[in-house]
Amino acid sequence: MSQTPDISQLVRVFGRIGLLSFGGPAAQIGLMHQELVDRARWLKEEEFLGALSFCMLLPGPEAMQLATFCGWKLRGTLGGVIAGALFVLPGAALIFLLAAGYAHYGDVPLVSAAFVGVQAAVVALILQALIKLSRRLLRKRLDIAVATLSFAALYTATLPFPAVILAAGILGFVVPSNEPVKAVVSPHVSRDSATRSSLKAIAIWGTLWAIPVAILVFNGGFLKDVALFFSKLAVVSFGGAYALLAYMVQTVVQDFGWLSTDQMMDALGLAETTPGPLILVTQFVATVSGVFQGGPMMAFAAGLVALWCTFIPCFLWIFAGAPHVSRILSAPRLSQSLNLISTAVVGVIMNLSLWFTINLLFSDVVPTTIGPLPVLNSLDLGASALVAIAITALIALRLPLLVVLVLSACAATLLNLV
């Protein structure tokens, strides 16, 4: 690290990152590398990669947590709070506006038709994520077996999402790995000092997380369910937004009945159009659900609760774990455990991809003991054509995501007018 920036420099750079962070985690991480390593030269290459390795092991949005870690590394806890908040707030403001517009105009026929195109783009997007993750993570027979079993457990509703993640972690801890663990560059911190820092962070950020949740639980009602559900998501959200969305669909649609499957797909599509972490889809879901539960004020309150319960835990994970980065990444059993959790996420995303595709392409879906199965003669040819267009544009032609979203929405609108 060649220099320590002052607070105004930190605000300027991370504010720019927050406003320009479109395109998902890969693009966001690339932008941070360009700003922090190449342009400002505040971090060395190995420091940035060590931070990235640590953040990818945590539940929650890795790009937001990487921003927080880098801010912590540069200016301590205040720097981490500034960096993490600036990465989230621009997108969060836009999500509130998009959710309000969707709740009021989503049922207009032409708007509804356009969202069918957005849903087709979401299917292509999840398929693209599945292909990339499979190539990177499914290297051994054990990896393939864990991904397949995770998919089967979720699709047949044999196990819930948290149980799948827990089982993969336990298996990884028990089964030894022959792969060497790479050492990670990290500043030297004594064990006693690191422990004190972690306990302080747990006390502060754990309290900030717990007190509002406790108040809402005491008051009961819809906001209690929002607080508890999104707090649970914050703990088990390994693998990013695509992985947790499968769990969200199951709970929000089937258990709570807040939204429909189509509305969940619309939520993901609109969240892709904003800067910041894709996990802001949790805020969108809570806000739109709040509109239906109690109107605009309830919607705003639910969105704030979802934001709090999604991102305060991220600060907790980073500030509690950052002093121990080298030790965490150098522990073979822990490393293997977290690797198999990542592998299980491939199965989770397979389940999400199949669920969304079936519900978009077929008007009739029958629940069975082996999971939902489509009625073949209910195939929607228009939706099938839109999915084919989206897959061709995003995966074959490699067009930018925002272009694909606009193209799919326009194609769906024209199809509705024909």
Is 383 exposed, middle or buried, given 0-12, 13-18 or 19+ CB atoms closer than 10 A? buried
**pLDDT on residue 183:** 47
Residue 207 pLDDT > 60, yes or no?
yes
pTM for this one?
Answer: 0.78
What are the residue ranges of helices labelled H in 106-240?
109-137, 141-155, 161-174, 191-219, 222-236
**pLDDT on residue 290:** 95
Supply the DSSP symbol for 367.
-
Residue 160 pLDDT > 70, yes or no?
yes
Percent of the chain residues past pLDDT 70, beyond the cut: 92
Amino acid at residue number 360: L
**pLDDT on residue 317:** 95
Inter-residue contact 119 to 265 (CB < 8 Å): yes
Supply the DSSP symbol for 252.
I
Inter-residue contact 110 to 314 (CB < 8 Å): no
Percent of the chain residues past pLDDT 90, beyond the cut: 37
Confidence of residue 186 (pLDDT cuts 50, 70, 90): very low
**pLDDT on residue 244:** 74
**pLDDT digit string (tens) for 389-398?**
999 998 999 8
Question: 213: Cβ–Cβ under 8 A, 6 or more apart, which residues?
Answer: 227, 228, 231, 309
**pLDDT digit string (tens) for 321-373?**
888 877 776 777 777 777 788 788 788 878 878 887 888 899 888 888 888 89
Integer CA distances (angstroms), 98 to 101, 270, 281, 288, 351, in order: 5, 7, 11, 10, 27
**pLDDT on residue 208:** 97
**pLDDT on residue 114:** 82
**pLDDT on residue 283:** 94
Q: How far apart are CA 26 and CA 29, in angstroms?
A: 5
